[in-house]
Amino acid sequence: MKKRFKYLVLGLLVSVGMSFASCGDDEDEIDIPDIYKKKDEDTTAQEKRTGKITGELHVDGRYLKDAEGNIVNLHGIAQTYSPWFNRVNDQYLWTDKDVAGCLRVNKEKLLKIHDHGWCVDFVRLHMDPHWTMKDAPWDAGESKAHIYYNEEQFKQYLDEVFVPMAEYMQTLGMRVLMRPPGVCPEVIALNDDYYKYMLKVWTIVANHKKLKNNPMVMFELANEPVKFRDSKGNEGSSNTGSINKELSQFFQDIVDRIREQGCNNILWIPGTSWQQDYKAYKSYPIKGENIGYAVHCYPGWYGSDCYQQTGEIAPDMWRGSVGGYEGFKKDWDNSITKVVAQSNPIIVTEMDWCSKKFQGRTWGSSITGTAGGKGFGANFRKIMDETGNVSWLTFVWDHDLATFDPAHEADENDFLYDPESGVYPVYQWFKEYWNL
């Protein structure tokens, strides 16, 4: 699975109680599939969960900790608010700038996920550029969100869409991890247009009265930087000297701008190479309090096992890895543990997998496999646990998570219940973490 292709597809397709006060009884009705509607016989898990995850977190060395000093690793899901991400069987559940429809659909999904017992304690909330771009051509894509950014639209829909969704998540006991609109262009540089865009966006967010210093809200500063160009014209994911120094300065400036607003929310810093490369921060760590690093991890990355064109499960050999647990563990440690995880907490904000028969239901393709042996999923969990300071989410689409029935038995012929795909086992793992 190549992330370049992922976002080319997204770029082409994305173009084609909300606060209870702003979503009242006078809203137009829209057709919500029955699978998302709360049933009277549903048993809410909220009573069991009250107080489990609310309250302040802070960074203490390499760990997230609560107010009592306990180490906390979060486990979550993701939501994004464009029509393309809000469809079932190619049926769009809302279109255009239908605020009421967008919020109702996404609240219903979150409620269903919650009431089906998913032990989720954070949601990655994408402030999707569907709401922030103006006069963009149909094929502009998310990597051009900064080019067609309209500040008034961003402020409007921050208030009407993103903050209301963040508030609703908190009513369900879920923390919020907000990421900025769109994805990074392929090459970023200190003082370029994207840098200026990031400073504008985060200044607005950091000053919002419902987000600023909210103990349940965190910020992921960008999504998937690929390459960096330094002032000498050198270009790459990381390097020695000026690339590393200027790359670190790029995000240090954003951190400093947020802190200048009196905002001390936990900040998660991305690496280059689609959030796999953190060497710059080994030499030039981001300074300040409440800082962690946001990582992505898919089958085939970090030497992990994935489906090859031959149909076999094997590592992505471009890293020269032996695959299985040993290859995955070695490359993860060299790329993450020894680089940033020894000094700061880590959060994996994209990760999923599914077995070959269900390819296309997730971004990544592999099997759960066996911890310590062959496969991706079980080894991913084992390595995250061994690292010790990693929070992580499943990037499986939220409508699939909302459809999942915890009473359903394992079924290798159904994506949701296939033990070798990343829904059925993750549901069980999240419960295990919850009960620790």
Q: Strands 75-80 and 87-88, how do they pair? A: unpaired
Query: DSSP code of 413?
Result: T
Residue 213 CA to residue 211 CA, distance in Å, equals 6
Q: What is the CATH number of the domain that holds 427?
A: 3.20.20.80
Virtual torsion, Cα 114, 117, 122, 123, nearest 10 deg: -50
Query: What per-residue confidence (pLDDT) applies to 316?
Result: 64
Query: What per-residue confidence (pLDDT) applies to 52?
Result: 55
Residue 4 CA to residue 226 CA, distance in Å, equals 10
Question: Which three-class secondary structure state does DSSP give residue 26?
Answer: coil
Shortest CA distance to 86 belongs to which of 133, 33, 164?
A: 33
Contact 246, 233 (CB under 8 A): no
Shortest CA distance to 369 belongs to which of 350, 382, 358?
A: 382
Domain tally, the chain: 1
pTM above 0.85, yes or no: yes
% helix, strand, coil for the chain, step of 5: 40, 15, 45
Query: What per-residue confidence (pLDDT) applies to 39?
Result: 42
Return all residues near 20 (Cβ < 8 A) that are at least 6 apart. Answer: none
Contact 130, 106 (CB under 8 A): no
* Average pLDDT per block of 10 residues along the chain, 436 residues long: 36 33 36 42 41 79 95 97 90 94 97 95 97 88 90 98 97 96 96 97 98 97 96 89 94 98 98 96 96 97 90 72 88 96 98 96 96 97 98 97 97 98 98 91
Question: Which three-class secondary structure state does DSSP give residue 155?
Answer: helix
Contact 218, 64 (CB under 8 A): no
360: how many CB neighbours lie within 10 A of its CB?
8
Which residues constitute the domain of residue 202?
A: 3-434
Query: What per-residue confidence (pLDDT) applies to 404?
Result: 97
Shortest CA distance to 292 belongs to which of 177, 194, 184, 386?
A: 177
